[in-house]
Amino acid sequence: DIQMTQSPSSLSASVGDRVTITCRASQSISNFFNWYQQKPGKAPKLLIYAASSLQSGVPSRFSGSGSGTDFTLTISSLQPEDSATYYCQQTYSTPWTFGQGTKVEIK
Amino acid sequence: QVQLQESGPGLVKPSQTLSLTCSVSGGSISNGDYYWSWIRQYPGKALEWIGYIYYSGNTYYNPSLKSRVTISLDTSKNQFSLRLSSVTAADTAMYYCASQNIAVAGRYFDYWGQGTLVTVSS
């Protein structure tokens, strides 16, 4: 299985801050890589697909980059509604696997 | 807009079989651009992909669960189902069904059900 390792596991930042979450795959996955946002009591929601493409309807303050084994999710200006847990996922080879999640809190 | 809805018992006894159904609306389960998956989320929040079924009936299961999992589909009802046998407390989780678009870059999960909590307890 391909292991996905996110860091940090949690962070606290102020409104307006730039926030970066990283995800590392245990082997190269090209750009078969996605980011999801999950709020309490809700299903995960697709934010970024193919490493850097913004899903329709997602605010432009979210962006993704990377290829191969190292990927980054950036929130350029953190907003109160961004308080959530963020998961990375690989779809390069089965079984599809997720990172352990990064909980983002607002100070 | 595609919508998915899980249904099934919220409480299952140890050693019994967990059975859930996912009803799909706003789209066809016979769409060849999609895999139809089950995913679970443990109380500690980790996500585990269980397996998928394709409209042809082809399936792929997570090797960690392969011996206990069966996913089937009913095209007449636009539904697909999960059966997980010999459950233990470790199978207690929120279970989601989701559609995976395999015809696009990233092969992402684009639609999810709201999830159903299954507790394994006597």
Cβ(B120)–Cβ(B29) below 8 Å: no
At residue B59, the pLDDT reads: 98
Q: Residue B79 pairs with which residues in a beta bridge?
A: B23, B74
Write the residue in A1, A49, A101 that is nearest to B106 by C-beta: A49
Between strands B116-120 and B11-12, the pairing is parallel
Q: Would you place residue B121 in the very low, low, confident or very high pLDDT band (cuts 50, 70, 90)?
A: very high
Cβ contacts (< 8 Å) between A45 and chain B: which residues? 112
For residue A13, the tally of other CB atoms under 10 A from its CB is 16
Q: Would you place residue B103 in the very low, low, confident or very high pLDDT band (cuts 50, 70, 90)?
A: very high
Taking the C-alpha atoms of residue B45 and residue B63, their distance in angstroms, rounded to an integer, is: 21
> Is A34 close to B106, i.e. CB distance below 8 A?
yes
Identify the residue among A96, A100, A102 best suited for mutation to test binding to B, counting B beta carbons within 10 A and taking the highest.
Answer: A96
Q: Stretch A92-96: mean pLDDT, rounded?
A: 97
Q: How many CA atoms lie within 13 A of A15 on its CB side?
A: 3
Nearest to A95 by CA among B114, B35, B91, B6: B35
Cβ(B107)–Cβ(B99) below 8 Å: no
Q: What percent of chain B has pLDDT over 70?
A: 100
Min Cα distance B17 → chain A (Å) is: 23
pLDDT digits (tens, 9 = 90+) for A4-53: 999 999 999 999 999 999 999 999 999 999 999 999 999 999 999 999 99
Q: Does A57 touch chain B (CB under 8 A)?
A: no
**Residues shown for chain A:** 107
pLDDT digits (tens, 9 = 90+) for B56-102: 999 999 999 999 999 999 999 999 999 999 999 999 999 999 999 99
For residue B86 the two structure tokens come to 């010999």
Min Cα distance A94 → chain B (Å) is: 8
At residue B13, the pLDDT reads: 98
Which amino acid type is present at position B73? L
Nearest to B73 by CA among B90, B88, B89, B53: B53
For residue A68 the two structure tokens come to 């191969």
Asked if residue B44 has pLDDT above 90, the reply is no
Distances (CA, A) of A85 to A8, B96, B108: 11, 17, 18
> Is A46 close to B100, i.e. CB distance below 8 A?
no
Min Cα distance A80 → chain B (Å) is: 21
Asked if residue A76 has pLDDT above 90, the reply is yes
Mean pLDDT score across all residues of chain A:
97
At residue A51, the pLDDT reads: 97
> Strand, coil or helix: what is A63?
strand
Q: Stretch A79-103: mean pLDDT, rounded?
A: 98
At residue A100, the pLDDT reads: 97
